[in-house]
Amino acid sequence: MVKSKVHTTQTESGASVTNALRWFIPAKFLQRGSGYYAWVFHRLTGLAILGYVFIHLWQLFYLTLGPEAYNEHAIDFTNPIYLFFDILLIAILVYHGFNGLRVIFFDMGWFINEQKYLFILVMLITAILCIIAAYLIWFDVVPFIVKEVAVNP
């Protein structure tokens, strides 16, 4: 029997970490709990939302150039790259919002001992709503619904 050269170590949380993985990711980062990851993702999504606000304002600048200029620019919004970023934006907004509710629960003293489970719940809700949004955006379902409502009030 050949012994593996990859050794495992136990972290404080009880998870085993291979030396190969530790070579790429610092051990201190791997030893963090779900609360730390939720905190990091919350800050990153907040920065992403701030970046989106500036991009959105830049896009709205085309309205000042007149309807023709804006319509020429708006054609780009049907590009698959824009659609992908729309889906990503929805995922960011959903995660940031539901994680904000999770933080409010902790501030109120509710579910303090359930951090890991609430983080998993937030990630599941984000994934489910992102899949639904991706379907609606990618297959152009929403404009069809809006047209039907506008035609048949």
What would the DSSP string read from start to end of 62-116?
GGGG-HHHHHHHHGGGGSHHHHHHHHHHHHHHHHHHHHHHHHHHHHTTSSGGGHH
Q: Tell me phi and psi for residue 119, to 5 degrees.
A: -65, -45
pLDDT at 124: 96
pLDDT at 15: 52
pLDDT at 28: 64
pLDDT at 20: 52
The candidate with the shortest Cα–Cα distance to 129, out of 82, 97, 81, 102, is 97
Helix (H) or strand (E) holding 117: helix 115-138
pLDDT at 4: 46
Within a 13 Å sphere around the CA of 106, how many CA atoms are in the beta-carbon half? 16
Q: Does domain 32-151 have CATH number 1.20.1300.10?
A: yes
pLDDT at 71: 81
The candidate with the shortest Cα–Cα distance to 140, out of 60, 86, 91, 72, is 86
- List of the chain residues with pLDDT < 50: 4-8, 146-147, 149-153
pTM of the full predicted structure?
0.69
pLDDT at 16: 54
Length of the chain: 153
pLDDT at 112: 83
The structural domains of the chain, with segments of one domain joined by +, span: 1-31, 32-151
